């Protein structure tokens, strides 16, 4: 199964997870500082900065895109409860 | 016959200046334009306010315009606008800084934006969604607003406002604003307290130390990690005044308050476990069954090196002491029998006290003895997940008296908890 390497820069933890995993599932387990509310891509609480490897995340859905737009999120930001890893290296940190 | 004159009598008792509605200068060209609320006795449902509070807003004048930093609670808007009008015209306002959207500071924002529609609103990159939801009822949405973060600046002409991204102190949107030329930090709720005293400055007002500590304990403590990160940004600044959004303006020894925050945000118990992980096992037990389970959980957990295990009877102490312990622990297991279809009240009292601390990343687990229906364990686990504990090991239930093989299971359960604690974060995803 394809794997991706995700780094949570705030706690300095890197781990390898299967493709398809959402960032929030991992951040929760390692105690990274990404907060969340609805986990359904609506509340915007899990806004996360992608420091590098944005291309290794599945493209945002229409819903996520809308929430990012409504939050005036700068480029390179994603919702951790929506963003799924595809492979390669990804570095993120809480906003 | 003496005529009662309640209103005049009351005025006489008020400290001087409380109804002058004049702005108060805190530095050249910088004015306090907030409001005093001496009669408030409870705040946000979670704090009592013996001394009322103040809603501190500020106006900063530069050569090219005036910035207003925060506003006040809606029903004090009259005081705020009167004070603001005493130092500037609305047409001069180029910038409105929103350090925090909670209604005690944003209450007069819609009206301010109606009066100064040209102003650009500067708020945290976490704020826009909340701003929209807050202003839904008002018919004004700011025409121009921009999101700012650490390093961004606004030039007012000889006066520069710099922003510090300090989220979760105590809402997602909170930020601090720094006036570099004068060394003034407009900190929002951080370093604030509910203490209404119209003499305003910390070297003039009554003794507010209790309020300062109390405010931290109830508002900031749940966000300890965020407080520590914010202090990393604040400590290097040149500071002559800390101007929070509530209570005294800290111009005398401002650094003492920053130092105090650092102390408060640092683990309060010396960690004698050193590099070991700490697991707390709590239980309640009417007939000793859940207690026997708890002891076996401890025994099992102690078979792994690198984990320090402690066992407590929940009936023995008020929840507050255990909250302090849990704040410093890596994980905790909660044992409760099922009584009338539920966990026992001290369990819920403890769990509902945990909103006072930061539990991100901690491990939680539940176990207990039951008679026939056994609801308690699932209910506790459900609550632990809701509080955002990690719950990697499924709860353990035993019907009535644990047999020796069931006690073995409890030991295995304890060992699994210990193992989950010492598994490095980088291996947890696959291990769980
Ligand atoms: C101290 C405090 C903490 C809060 N914490 C949360 C929170 O964790 N999650 C959330 O969704 N809202 C939180 N809120 C926001 C309130 O739920 C929100 O302001 C709500 O509109 C208040 O409703 P009320 O007017 O009925 O009091 C918090 C509010 C306060 C005052
Ligand atoms: S948690 Fe609500 S959008 Fe991600
Ligand atoms: Fe607040
Ligand atoms: Fe406040």
Rounded to the nearest whole angstrom, what is the distance from the C-alpha of residue B65 to the centroid of ligand 3? 27
**pLDDT score, position B13:** 36
Query: Which pLDDT band holds residue B426 (cuts at 50, 70, 90)?
Result: confident
Which residue in B363, B412, B370 sits closest to B392, CA to CA? Answer: B363
* Ligand 1: residue whose CA is nearest its atom 30: B44
Instruction: Say how many Å lie between the CA of residue B233 and the centre of ligand 1.
Output: 26
CB atoms within 10 A of CB A39: 17
Contact assignment for B128 to A31 by CB distance below 8 Å? no
**What is the tens place of the pLDDT at every residue in B249-285?**
999 999 999 999 999 999 866 666 678 999 999 999 9
Quick one: which atom of ligand 2 is closest to the CA of A43? 2
Taking CA atoms only, the protein residue closest to ligand 1 atom 11 is: A37
| Interchain CB distance below 8 Å, B428 and A14 | no
Alpha-carbon torsion (B13, B18, B20, B26), positive or negative: positive
Write out pLDDT tens, residues A69-79.
Answer: 989 998 999 99
Asked if B307 contacts B336 with a C-beta cutoff of 8 angstroms, the reply is no
Q: Return d(Cα B257, Cα B235) in angstroms, integer.
A: 11
Verify whether the Cβ–Cβ distance B125 to A72 is below 8 Å. yes
The dihedral through the CA atoms of B237, B241, B243, B247 has a sign that is positive
* Chain-centre distance for alpha carbon B146: 25
Give the closest-approach CA distance of A27 to chain B in angstroms: 9
Confirm or reject: Cβ of A37 under 6 Å from ligand 2. yes
Q: What is the mean pLDDT of residues A6-22?
A: 95
Average pLDDT, chain B: 92
pLDDT score of B248: 98
What is the reported pLDDT for B427? 85
Using the predicted structure, report yes or no on whether residue B2 has a pLDDT greater than 80. Answer: no
- Tokens encoding B77: 């808007």
Q: How large is the average pLDDT for residues B198-203?
A: 98
Q: Which one of A14, A21, A35 has the shortest CB-CB distance to B426?
A: A14
Say yes or no for a CB contact (<8 Å) between B427 and A73: no
Q: Residue B267: what pLDDT?
A: 82
**Stretch B69-76: mean pLDDT, rounded?**
98
For the CA of B219, the closest atom of ligand 1 is: 1
Q: Interior CA angle at B104 toward B102 and B109, to 5°?
A: 80
- Which of A30, A45, A69, A90 would best serve as a mutation to test chain B binding (most B beta carbons within 10 A)? A30
- Read off the pTM: 0.91
Are residues B81 and B75 in contact, defined by beta-carbon separation less than 8 angstroms?
no
Tell me what pLDDT residue A42 has: 92
**CA–CA distance, B209 with A95 (Å, rounded to integer):** 32
pLDDT above 70: percentage of residues in chain B: 92
- Tell me if B125 and A33 make a contact (CB, 8 A cut-off): no
Residue B56 Cα, ligand 4 centroid: separation in angstroms? 9
Residues in B lying within 8 Å of A, measured between beta carbons: 125-126, 128-129, 132, 147, 165, 167-168, 172, 225-226, 360-362, 388, 390, 392, 425-430, 432
Closest to B125 (Cα-Cα) out of B107, B98, B105? B98
Kindly give the number of the ligand 1 atom that is closest to the alpha carbon of A43: 11
- Which pLDDT score, from 0 to 100, does residue B141 have? 63
Residue B188 has pLDDT above 80, yes or no: yes
Distance B386 CA to ligand 4 centre (A): 26
Domain region containing A8? 3-94
CATH code assigned at A17: 3.10.20.30
The residue with tokens 């290097």 is B236
Tell me the DSSP string of B141-201: --SEEEEE-TT-EEE-SS-EEEEEE---SSSTT-EEEEEGGGTEEEEETTT------TT-B
Whether the per-residue pLDDT at B236 is higher than 60: the answer is yes
Question: Which token pair is B183?
Answer: 């060394």
B1 CA distance to ligand 4 middle (Å): 46
Q: Are strands B24-27 and B30-32 parallel, antiparallel or unpaired?
A: antiparallel
pLDDT at A2: 87
B280 phi, psi to nearest 5 deg: -105, 135
Q: Tell me: the pLDDT tens digits for A15-66?
A: 999 999 999 999 988 889 999 999 999 999 999 999 999 999 999 999 999 9
Half-sphere exposure of B244 (CA within 13 A, CB side): 25
Backbone angles phi, psi at B17, to 5 degrees: 90, -5
Please check whether residue B50 is in contact with residue B243, taking contact to mean a CB–CB distance below 8 angstroms: no
Beta-bridge mates of residue B122:
B97, B146
Determine the residue of B44, B49, B107 to mutate for testing ligand 1's pocket, defined as the one with the most ligand atoms within 8 A of the Cβ atom.
Answer: B44
- Among B278, B239, B279, B276, residue whose Cα is nearest residue B261: B239
Reply yes or no on whether the pLDDT at B6 is more than 70. no
- Residue B168 — pLDDT band, cuts 50, 70, 90? very high
Q: In degrees to the nearest 10, what's the CA dihedral of B16, B22, B28, B30?
A: 110
Q: If you ran DSSP here, which 8-state letter would residue B314 be given?
A: G
CA angle A23, B275, B364 (to 5 degrees): 50
Can you give the pLDDT at residue B341? 97
Please give the sequence-ordered ranges of beta strands (E in DSSP) within chain A, or none if there are none: 3-8, 13-18, 47-52, 77-79, 88-94
Q: Domains plus CATH for chain B?
A: 24-265 (3.60.15.10), 277-431 (3.40.50.360)
Examine the pLDDT at B5 and tell me if it is beyond 60. Answer: no
- B151-164 residue pLDDT tens: 999 999 999 999 99
The domain total for chain A is: 1
Query: Strand A13-18 to strand A77-79: parallel, antiparallel, or no bridges (unpaired)?
Result: unpaired
Query: Contact B171/B101 with Cβ under 8 angstroms?
Result: yes
| Chain B residues near residue A43 by CB distance under 8 angstroms | 129
């Amino acid at each position: 199964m394809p794997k991706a390497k995700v780094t949570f820069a705030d706690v300095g933890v890197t781990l390898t997870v299967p493709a398809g995993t959402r960032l929030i599932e991992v951040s929760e387990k390692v105690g990274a500082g990404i907060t969340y509310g609805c986990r359904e891509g609506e509340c915007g609480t899990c806004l996360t900065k992608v420091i590098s490897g944005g291309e290794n995340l599945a493209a945002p859905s229409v819903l996520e895109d809308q929430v990012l737009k409504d939050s005036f999120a700068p480029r390179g930001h994603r919702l951790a409860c929506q963003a799924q890893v595809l492979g390669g290296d990804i570095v993120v940190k809480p906003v | 016959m003496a005529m009662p004159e309640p209103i005049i009598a009351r005025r006489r008792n008020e400290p001087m200046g409380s109804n002058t509605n004049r702005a108060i200068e805190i530095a050249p060209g910088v004015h306090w334009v907030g409001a005093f609320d001496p009669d408030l006795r409870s705040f946000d449902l979670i704090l009592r306010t013996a001394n009322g509070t103040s809603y501190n807003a500020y106006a900063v004048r530069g050569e090219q315009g005036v910035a207003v930093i925060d506003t006040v609670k809606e029903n004090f808007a009259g005081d705020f606008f009167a004070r603001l009008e005493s130092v500037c015209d609305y047409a001069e306002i180029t910038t409105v800084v929103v350090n925090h959207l909670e209604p005690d500071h944003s209450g007069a924002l819609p009206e301010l934006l109606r009066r100064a529609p040209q102003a650009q609103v500067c708020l945290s990159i976490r704020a826009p969604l909340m701003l929209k939801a807050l202003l839904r009822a008002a018919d004004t949405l700011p025409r121009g607003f921009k999101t700012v973060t650490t390093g961004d600046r606004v030039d007012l002409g000889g006066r520069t406002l710099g922003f510090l991204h300090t989220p979760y102190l105590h809402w997602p949107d909170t930020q601090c604003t720094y006036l570099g030329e004068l060394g003034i930090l407009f900190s929002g709720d951080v370093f604030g307290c509910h203490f209404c005293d119209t003499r305003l400055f910390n070297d003039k007002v009554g003794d507010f130390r209790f309020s300062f500590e109390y405010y931290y304990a109830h508002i900031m403590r749940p966000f300890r990690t965020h407080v520590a990160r914010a202090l990393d940004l604040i400590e290097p600044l040149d500071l002559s005044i800390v101007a929070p959004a509530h209570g005294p303006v800290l111009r005398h020894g401002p650094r003492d308050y920053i130092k105090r925050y650092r102390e408060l945000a640092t683990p309060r118990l010396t960690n004698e476990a050193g590099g070991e992980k700490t697991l707390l096992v709590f239980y309640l037990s009417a007939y000793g069954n859940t207690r026997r389970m708890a002891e076996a959980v401890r025994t099992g957990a102690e078979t792994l090196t690198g984990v320090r295990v402690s066992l407590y009877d929940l009936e023995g102490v008020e929840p507050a002491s255990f909250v302090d312990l849990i704040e410093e622990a890596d994980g905790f297991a909660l044992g409760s029998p099922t009584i009338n279809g539920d966990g026992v009240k001290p369990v819920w009292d403890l769990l509902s006290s945990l909103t006072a601390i930061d539990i991100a990343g901690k491990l939680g687990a539940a176990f207990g003895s039951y008679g026939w229906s056994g609801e308690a364990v699932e209910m506790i686990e459900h609550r632990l997940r809701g509080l955002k504990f990690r719950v990697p090991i499924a709860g353990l239930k035993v019907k009535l008296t644990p047999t020796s093989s069931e006690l073995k299971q409890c030991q295995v359960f304890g060992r699994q908890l210990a193992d989950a604690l010492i598994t490095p974060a980088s291996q947890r995803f696959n291990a769980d």
